[in-house]
Structure 1
Amino acid sequence: METTALTSPSALGGLRVLDLSRVLAGPWAGQLLADLGADVVKVERPGAGDDTRAWGPPWLADADGHSTTESAYYLSANRNKRSVTIDLSRPEGQQLVRRLAVKADILIENYKLNGLRQYGLDYASLSALNPRLIYCSITGFGQTGPYAARAGYDFLIQGMGGLMSLTGREEGAEGAGPMKVGVALTDILTGLYASNAILAALAHRTSSGKGQYIDLALLDVQVACLANQASNYLVGGAAPVRMGNAHPNIVPYQDFPTADGHMIIAAGNDGQFAHLCDVLGQPGWATDPRFCSNPQRVRHRDALIALIRSVTVSRKTQDWVALMEVVGVPCGPINDLAGVFADPQVQARGLRIDLPHPQAGSVPLVANPIRMSDTPVQYRAAPPALGQHTDEVLASWLALTPPDVDALRRGSVV
């Protein structure tokens, strides 16, 4: 499917992004900018492309049910982009990227420290050609410090950055031990920080006329996103520990067993706790000195949780959810992904989208969660096939003719 113009205005229409990143953090940032209307050109290795193209199964199935070469992983982070193949190891390929960078507003890359300097594609080289260029580098550990030259992956950073010390069953429980989050959350958060930084740099460029360099590290992002847990340590002096699904500062705020499974109760204040006690048929708990305020409930956590669990097993999850909703106590099921996409709220919000795809007919994707009244997110194109837009991008950005591109292709440059 080729990109098509849509009638609604876009927030970032007219901006050009050169995306030299692979895997998840950089592509996630690029996809967000693309959803908001930017023309994002994904530069990939000829014949191979983004590493995640090979990270299957599962693979997207074609109209006859046969597997294509498009992995579900790749599809998750590359919507609305155009794919160009260029061999950066070739001088001719490096020159092509330099020419594209001159036409770009933004460049995103996640090569290792100084990885693009050998090709003359580092910030110093490209900003000399295009002083308005906003150049975002994403690495595991940043451009400075003793670990700067190390490769960094999400799983590694979740461990080094403290997240795994907080995730998993409490010490002594069956199955206890550090646990990573079920998605590459550090990569995703880094992509979101990257897009925020890029938009801030764009705002600054409006007044200054100058681009700038953005140094983003997965480790920095992971530590920053420890949020209240980092603050608990810095203020209280004690390192937080794994607590399973419990909350370090709020009680009750965790999972509870029911007659047919489990549910989550998240009573965030004393009023909600009082309503919870009424629903559970135990109004006296709300005035019990051990439980009447959140600090007391945290102090007597074990006793209160045992009492609540003894009651919640008496009804089914959906029965409890319905009763809690009436009195405003936050409560819900623990869905698998089939349950997520069957949920009426998820369906009402349109969180699944289907885009036309040249091999599969259509591809199912998760919608962008941003809702904007005047410049809504646009879904212009499915994630591109490898090199799908090489000819059209080189023509539209660099005015290369078909014979020019054919010559590059014969020379294995593109």
Structure 2
Amino acid sequence: MNTAARRALDGVRVVDLTQALAGPFCTSLLADQGADVIKVEPPRGDFLRYAGPFASDDEPRDYGGVFQSANRNKRSLVLDLKKPEAREVLLRLIDDADIVVENFSAGVMDRFGLDYDTLAARNPRLVYASIRGFGDKTGGHSPYRDWPAFDIVAQAMGGLMSITGTDAAHPVRVGSGVGDTVPGLFAAFGILAALRDAERTGQGQYVDVAMADAVLAISEVVVNTYGHTGQVPGPLGNQLQGFAPFDTVQAKDGVLALGAPHNPQWAKLAAVMGQPELVDDPRFATDHDRWLNREAVYEVVNAWTRTHTVAELVEVLGGKVPLGPILDAADIFADPHFRARDMLPTVTHPHNGRAVTVPGIPAKLSNTPGTVERRAPLVGEHTVEILREAGLDTAELTALADAGATVIPSSAQEHVA
């Protein structure tokens, strides 16, 4: 991996006041592109550290796999923001920062005296982002503003669970934490848009992201269907409303995903199946006809796919019609696509020195490639380094530690003197 390459966010300083997944995922995207992300943690550390997954021999269990993934390329600083001394140090860091990201409950930063208005008065070019379950007052004062939320709550109230699963009686949460990661993506996008504007005008702004809003934004079926027809869409399993065939189909030895909903794709599929006459069948004449007659579509398609293995279907349809086998984790780690695209980079586990895999960077920039070059930090691993950069001398570092405002890791004690 070319760690010397220029990166798009080199020179950008981020003060990261986030825990759990949504906020750290957001700031990891910035760190991957070269931003100096200072992760400010309480003395106990981000609670995501203790959530796993862990290998059987991971001890102590304070450095889980999700934490490792969402906090790579960052530096960790311990500050107990309940202490006024810690808040004063944080203000010094923010004076030189470009971006602040936080996901505290609504009102916490106000009580700390670290709200956007206060920080913007000190640093007018500051981009300040918050990620909460239902947002903050800047984007519109939700009646649920003070409600706590997790991924499953955002998926439920953002509409996604109402269209996921096989029937309305059994709503299903999407298997990954999209109620966290999608808000993190939207926050990163909003931050970069605001940063661009700040570079142009010298004036920063507040980026207000609600987890529920972000989930709704990707639940296009919910809004589009009800907004245009007044109908409430429900779960369709693996299908997509208005498209057929667009589902999993049966093979001799399993299932695979197949989509051929538009006329050119349907014609290619019919030809490969040896049934070109299907193109002229009035039940299947248009995209909409195939949707209305989707039971007949799937009867025809599955009757053919069941006569072949998954491997045979991939061989005869690959490159002609959109399809793909259902890859599990072991399949993905063995697949040449993800290896070629560097989507499974490794970092070193700090406790045992073992190489562990984290998800790679999906946005491939030709001139300023991002890199995963640094493992997630231990709690407070860079406390002394960062505070020295901020101008604190030995006496100030010692006073902060004595006041309980920070914790100096034993590995860094020698660097305080």
Q: 1:98 aligns with which of 73, 91, 96?
A: 91
One-letter amino acid matched to 2:50: A
Secondary structure at the residue paired with 1:76?
helix
Output one character per residue of 1:312-358: Cα deviation in whole Å (capped at 9) or x when no partner: 111110100110125x1111101111111211111111111112343
Q: Distance in 1 between matches of 2:397 and 2:56?
A: 30
**What is the Cα deviation at residue 264 of structure 1?**
0.9
2:110 matches 1:122: no
Letter in 1 for 2:264: G
Does 2:52 correspond to 1:56? Answer: yes
Secondary structure of 2:70's aligned partner: coil
Moved over 6 A (4+): none
Does residue 234 in structure 1 map to residue 234 in structure 2? no
Q: Does 1:345 align with 2:329?
A: no
The answer (yes or no) to whether the contact 1:60–1:360 under 8 Å persists in 2 is no
User: Retained in 1: the 8 A contact 2:129–2:206?
Assistant: yes
Pair 1:300 & 2:293 matched: yes
Q: Distance in 2 between matches of 1:229 and 1:161?
A: 9
d(CA) in 2 for partners of 1:116, 1:369: 33
The structure 1 residue matched to 2:143, chosen from 142, 146, 171, is 146
Give the aligned partner of residue 34 of structure 1. 31
Greater shift, 354-363 or 88-97, is seen at 354-363
1:7 maps onto 2:39 in alignment:
no
Q: Counterparts of 1:32 and 1:313 in 2: how far apart (Å)?
A: 42
Asked if the contact 1:60–1:67 (Cα under 8 Å) also holds between the matched residues in 2, the reply is: no
Distance 2:3 2:271 in 1: 53
Decide which moves more: 186-195 or 354-363: 354-363
Q: 2:402 matched to 1:405?
A: no
Q: TM-score, normalised by structure 2?
A: 0.92
How far is 1:128 from its partner?
1.4
In the alignment, does 2:215 pair up with 1:222? yes
- Structure 1 residue 14 displacement after superposition: 0.8
Deviation of the 1:403 alpha carbon = 3.9
- The CA deviation string for residues 76-109 of structure 1, in whole angstroms up to 9 with x for no partner, is 2001000111101111111111111112110000
How many aligned positions are there? 400
| Aligned ranges 1:70-109 → 2 under 5 Å | 70-109=63-102
d(CA) in 2 for partners of 1:181, 1:271: 31
Which amino acid is 1:350 matched to?
Answer: D
SS at match of 2:284: coil
Per-residue deviation, 1:49: 1.1
Structure 1 contact 186–218 (Cα < 8 Å) conserved: yes
1:193 aligns with 2:193: no
TM-score if structure 1 supplies the norm length?
Answer: 0.93
Cα gap change, 1:52/1:373 in structure 2, threshold over 3 Å: closer, same or farther? Answer: same
Alignment of 1:136 with 2:132, yes or no, is no
- 2:409 aligned residue: none
Is the contact made by 2:17 and 2:41 (CA closer than 8 Å) also made in structure 1? yes
| Structure 1 unmatched ranges of 5 or more | none
Instruction: State the SS of the aligned residue for 1:108.
Output: strand
Q: Secondary structure at the match of 1:240?
A: coil
Confirm or deny that 1:44 pairs with 2:46.
no
Tell me, yes or no, if the aligned pair for 1:14 and 1:39 is still in contact at 8 Å. Answer: yes
Cα separation, 2, equivalents of 1:77 and 1:350: 17
Q: Counterpart amino acid of 1:407? A: A
Correspondence 1:10-29 to 2 at 5 A: 10-29=7-26
Moved more, 74-83 or 49-58: 49-58
Tell whether the 8 Å contact from 2:8 to 2:34 is kept in structure 1 after alignment.
yes
- Measure the CA separation in 2 of the matches of 1:197 and 1:312: 44
Is contact 1:41–1:83 with CA below 8 Å preserved after alignment?
yes
Which of 79, 99, 113 pairs up with 2:106?
A: 113
Please report how far the alpha carbon of residue 43 of structure 1 lies from its aligned counterpart in structure 2 after TM superposition. 0.5
> 1:68: how far off?
4.8
User: How far, CA to CA, are the matches of 2:301 and 2:133 in structure 1?
Assistant: 43
Task: Give me the identity figure in percent.
Answer: 38
Q: Is residue 170 of structure 2 the alignment partner of residue 177 of structure 1?
A: yes
Match of 2:165 in 1: 168
Mapped to 1, the partners of 2:380 and 2:401 lie a distance apart of: 11
Q: Which residue among 189, 197, 203 is the counterpart of 2:196?
A: 203
8 Å CA contact 2:159, 2:222 repeated in 1: no
Q: CA deviation at 1:6?
A: 4.2
| Aligned counterparts of 1:159 and 1:6: Cα–Cα separation in 2 | 41
